Amino acid sequence: MCFNYKNDVLFAEDVNIKDIAQKIGTPFYCYSDKKLNGNYQAYKNALAEFNNTICYSVKANPNLGVLSALARLGSGADVVSAGEMYVALKAGIPADKIVFSGVGKTRAELREAIKNQILQINAESAAEVETINRTALELGLKANVALRVNPDVDARTHVKITTGKKDNKFGVNWDEALNLYRAASKMEGIRICGIAVHIGSQLLDLEPFRFAFTKIAQMVCALESEGITIKNIDLGGGLGINYNVELPPTCAAYARVVQETLGKLNKHIIIEPGRSVVGNAGILVSEVIYTKNMGEKKFIIIDAGMNDLIRPAMYDAWHTIMPVNKKRVAPVIADIVGPICESSDVFAKDRIIEPLAQGDLVAVMSAGAYGASMSSIYNFRPLVPEVMVRGREFFVVRERINYENMLREHHVPSWL
C-alpha cells in the first residue's frame, strides 16, 4: 500500500504527509508514483496476450506530472478536447498513441487531431463524420476514424456516469452504425481504422462489459464481411475502484472478458482507463479550520471545499476520510464539511471518525481521479497544489495558483 500509517502518522510512500503540509500549506492533492505505476502495470500485464495500447483517459487527471509519469511507462492517451491533446503531447505521449473521444468536437479541434495524425478519432455522429471528412480534405490529409457505437447497455452505475444506453447522448445508434460505416468508408478524407465503445464509469460488474464487447464482436464481423476492415477495437474505460466497500473486478478478470468476447478476432485492443489508473493513487489533504456543535450534531469544517473535490456534491460519492494523526481514541459521529457557501459542500455525512480539533490534518482518500481535474475557483478560491511522491521524495507538480494569476485575464472595462 502506498498510503500507510507509520507510528500513527499517515505517509505517502516514505513521505510524511505533515512534512508536505508544512512546506506548501493545505489543501493539496498528493499522488503516489508507485501506485500510479502499479495500476498501469496491472493493465499492461493483464492484456499482455493482446496487441494492445493503453490510452489513459486524461480527463480523470490531466496533471502534467501524472501524464509524464504515464508517458514514461509507455501509456497512450484518450483525450476529449484539444486542450487535453495539447497537454498529452507536452507530456511526451506520441500522437500515434492518442485517441480523441467526445460528442462535440469542434472543427478547430478536429483540425488539430488530423494535423497531428493521431491514432484514431472516435466519431459519434453522421454530422461529425462529414465534418472530419471535409476538414481532412481541406488539409490534404486522411483522418484515422473509428465510430463510437452505442450498444444500448445498462452499466449499472450512477446515472450521471452512464454513457452506453441509447437515451444517452453518446455514440452512434446501434442500428445506424452499419450504414454510417458504409458511408464513411467511401469518403476520401477518411481512413476507417476501428470501432469504439465506452459504456460508463465506476463499473463494478463485468457483465455489462461482456454484453457490450459481444455486440462489438458481432459488429466487427458484419463490417468485415462487407470488406470494411477494422484494425483497432477500443473498449473505452470504466472499471471501478474501491471507495468504501466496493469490490471492483481485477484487471485480470476484465482481460478474461476481453479474451472470451474478442480474443478470436486477433485485433489491436485499445482501452481507455482513467479512474482505475489514478483514482486510488491520490488523496486530498486538508486542515480542520473549526469544529462546531449544532444541538446534537457535530460539524468538522475543513479548508478543502466542493470546488476542490466535487464528487460528493455531484455524484453522492463516498470518500473515506482519515486523520493524518491517529489518536487512538473513541470515535464520534460528525459531518465533515467545506467552507463553501452551498449546502451541498459536504464531504461526509454522519461519519464515524476520531474526534478532530482545529489544526488537525485529514486525508480524503481515493481522490486522484475526477478530483483536481474537476476543480474550480468557485468562491474565488485558488486551485490547490498537486504533489507527486516517489519513495522519500516529493515534488510539487502544480503550484498553488495565486490571486494575481487568478486575475490575470480579468479586465475592467475601459469606460470605468
Ligand X SMILES: *Cc1c(COP(=O)(O)O)cnc(C)c1O
Residues annotated as part of the active site: 341
Stretch in the footprint of ligand X (CB under 6 A) among 260-268, 271-279, 315-323, 354-362: 271-279
97 binds ligand X (CB under 6 A): no
Let me know the angle formed at the C-alpha of 268 by 265 and 270, rounded to the nearest 5 degrees. Answer: 120
Q: Which is nearer to ligand X, 75 or 276 (CB)?
A: 276
Q: Which residues does residue 29 pair with via DSSP β-bridges, in sequence order?
A: 284, 386
Buried-exposed string 174-193: b where 16+ CB fall within 10 A, e elsewhere? eeebbebbeebbebebbbbb
Q: Which is nearer to ligand X, 81 or 286 (CB)?
A: 81
Q: Which is nearer to ligand X, 272 or 345 (CB)?
A: 272
Helical packing angle, 126-139 and 107-115, nearest 10°: 50
Task: Quote the cell numbers at residue 1.
Answer: 500500500
267 binds ligand X (CB under 6 A): no
Distance CA(377)–CA(409), nearest Å, equals 14
Site for ligand X in 274-333 (CB under 6 A): 274-276
Distance CA(196)–CA(158), nearest Å, equals 22
Distance CA(118)–CA(96), nearest Å, equals 5
Stretch in the footprint of ligand X (CB under 6 A) among 15-23, 32-40, 136-144, 273-281: 273-281
398 binds ligand X (CB under 6 A): no
Q: Which is nearer to ligand X, 62 or 237 (CB)?
A: 237
Distance CA(171)–CA(125), nearest Å, equals 7
Of 253, 341, 270, the closest CA to residue 101 belongs to 270
Q: Which is nearer to ligand X, 68 or 373 (CB)?
A: 373
Determine the 3-state secondary structure of 331 from DSSP. coil
Stretch in the footprint of ligand X (CB under 6 A) among 211-219, 232-240, 313-321, 388-396: 232-240
Taking CB under 6 A as the criterion, the residue among 17, 20, 46, 60 binding ligand X is: 60
105 binds ligand X (CB under 6 A): no
Q: Which is nearer to ligand X, 133 or 202 (CB)?
A: 202
Nearest-approach distance from CB 238 to ligand X, in angstroms = 4
Q: Which residue has the cell 507510528?
A: 7
76 binds ligand X (CB under 6 A): no
Nearest-approach distance from CB 351 to ligand X, in angstroms = 25
Q: Which is nearer to ligand X, 91 or 340 (CB)?
A: 91
Stretch in the footprint of ligand X (CB under 6 A) among 13-21, 40-48, 242-250, 269-277: 269-277
Distance CA(232)–CA(267), nearest Å, equals 6
Q: Which is nearer to ligand X, 242 or 379 (CB)?
A: 242
368 binds ligand X (CB under 6 A): no
Peptide bond into 413 cis (omega under 30): no
Distance CA(188)–CA(28), nearest Å, equals 50
Sheet holding 15-16, edge to edge: 3-6, 9-12, 15-16
Of 381, 244, 359, 240, the closest CA to residue 310 belongs to 381
201 binds ligand X (CB under 6 A): yes
Size of the site for ligand X (CB under 6 A): 17
Binding mask 30-59 for ligand X (x = CB under 6 A): ---------------------------x-x
Q: Which residues does residue 57 pair with via DSSP β-bridges, in sequence order?
A: 78
| Burial of residue 12 (number of CB atoms within 10 Å: 0-12, 13-18, 19+) | buried
Site for ligand X in 237-256 (CB under 6 A): 237-238
Nearest-approach distance from CB 60 to ligand X, in angstroms = 5
Taking CB under 6 A as the criterion, the residue among 76, 236, 368, 385 binding ligand X is: 236
Beta strands at 346-353 and 3-6: parallel, antiparallel or unpaired: unpaired
Taking CB under 6 A as the criterion, the residue among 13, 33, 78, 360 binding ligand X is: 78
Stretch in the footprint of ligand X (CB under 6 A) among 230-238, 299-307, 346-354, 360-368: 230-238
Taking CB under 6 A as the criterion, the residue among 272, 303, 308, 386 binding ligand X is: 272
Residue numbers at the binding site for ligand X (CB under 6 A): 57, 59-60, 78, 80, 101, 198, 201, 236-238, 272-276, 369
